[in-house]
Amino acid sequence: MRSQASILHLDLDAFFAAVEQRDKPSLRGKPVVVGGVGRRGVVSTASYEARTFGVHSAMSGAEARRLVPHAAFLGGRFEAYWQSSRIVMALLGELSDRVQALSLDEAFVDLAGTAAPTDPDALFAYAEDLRAELTRRTEGLTASVGIGTSKLMAKVASELAKPDGVRVVAAGTEAATLAPLSVRAVPGVGPVTHQRLQTLGLRTVADVQRAPLSELVREVGATWGPELHELAWGRDDRPVEGHRDAKSISQETTFEHDQTDRAWLEGRIDADAAHVCRRLARHGQFARTITIKVRFGDFTTWTRSRTLPGATDDPQRVAQVARSLLDQVDVLRGVRLLGVGVSGFVRAAQEELFWLDEGSSSEVGGPGEPDVGGDGGAGESFGDGPFGRRRRELYWPGADVEHDELGRGWVWGAGLGRVTVRFETRDAPGGPVRSFAQDDPALHPAGPLPMAHEVPVTDEDED
């Protein structure tokens, strides 16, 4: 354990929804739900205004609409989220060369040996300055920051600081800080472990602190029991893992709530495959092996991989193989983390004659070690994934568009061959609302607007 609080955890507040509210001024201060728009859609992120009605991530779109029918339900805009994420990660990289990004909106930073102060009060002011600079560079986003003597305590501190706050847990106060919290506050305690602990009457971290180690081992296993006991006391010596030369490229997301909807997970795979293949292309490489990583609510972790007869950088091919690997997984157990990776790099494409769903796969892994971290369109014509990567239409609620005469805007609604657009941008609110035929030649899909502090994409990009 460190003798001083020197690990920082930053978590962007309601990230996807916050980006939408920033870029769509008419939605600021109103309930916004990202995802949940398809027939079987699942909520990806809800704004804090929507959360007051009980909406949360992993909830079905139908239930979210019942709770808050007046909310704006939007499909995702991965490029806009990635754009803001790069700005944030670049800012963190100015603090330390040891930054471990967990997802687009979450990262650890090792402050040891940097210019960061060590006094808790000074650290608080340091974190407030960081958050103010983040808001300036991202043009309005906010973040919660926690600082502690370990990854565990930094993560717990940022959760206690939500939303839009700072919490510093000074050395020596770890156990007392954890004690009153629910056992779910301990990383790795998902629904299954939570239920097992409840059967023992262990509801708070203090209960786990007082429990005999033998009882924990009997209930949750010889590997996880001792680890749970150590974490309950705030003992965690895992390092912040900075950048390493990549022998593989992957994208992983830890979900706030365990996911059981296969269609939603397939949509996540599509988005991750697209991101991984962009990075492949920037490196000028092709991959032969495609891997998925699945971590369940009980923290059992499995990987499945398939090696192709040729090499590819095609996101559709990578997504197709990854989805076929996911077919072998019982997602009803509750998926806590999902990732897509590629490896076996070559510098030249080795074209496959056929795309086959059949093929051998390898399965490795077992009980995972606890880790800290980890957030469609109108009608049935859009995919159910969180970012709609399999949409069959050009326009979906929330999508960026541009009209030859009226300029930039976003899709207010779409269906029955019509597209309704609100013409506004983050700096030009309150524009008119107009409807067009879906095939109107003056209307075009568009990407996100550039930002003043936008970070160029490089080979070193890590999300």
Indicate if 252 belongs to the active site.
no
The structure tokens listed for 394 are 């050009």
In 239-321 the beta strands, taken as DSSP E runs, fall at: 248-259, 286-296, 300-312
Q: Name the amino acid, one letter, at 299.
A: F
The sheet that has 43-46: what strands, in order across it? 43-46, 32-35, 72-74
* Phi-psi region at 295: left, alpha or beta (left = phi > 0; alpha = psi -120 to 50): beta
Cis ω before 163 (30° cut-off from 0): yes
Cα gap 10→92, rounded to integer Å: 9
The structure tokens listed for 276 are 């991984």
What one-character-per-residue DSSP string does 134-181 give?
HHHHTTS--EEEEEESSHHHHHHHHHHH-SS-EEE--TT-HHHHHTTS
The structure tokens listed for 54 are 């009980």
Among 20, 49, 106, 174, the active-site one is 106
Q: How many CB atoms lie within 10 A of CB 369?
A: 11
Do the Cβ atoms of 78 and 387 come closer than 8 Å? yes
Q: Name the amino acid, one letter, at 255.
A: F
Cα gap 106→374, rounded to integer Å: 7
What one-character-per-residue DSSP string does 215-242 give?
HHHHHH-TTHHHHHHHHHTT---PPP--
- At what angle are helices 262-283 and 315-326 packed, to 10 degrees? 140
C-alpha of 6 from chain center: 24
User: Which residue bears the tokens 């009060």?
Assistant: 121
C-alpha of 286 from chain center: 25
- From 246, 252, 279, 286, select the one nearest 458 (Cα to Cα): 279
Annotated catalytic residues are 106
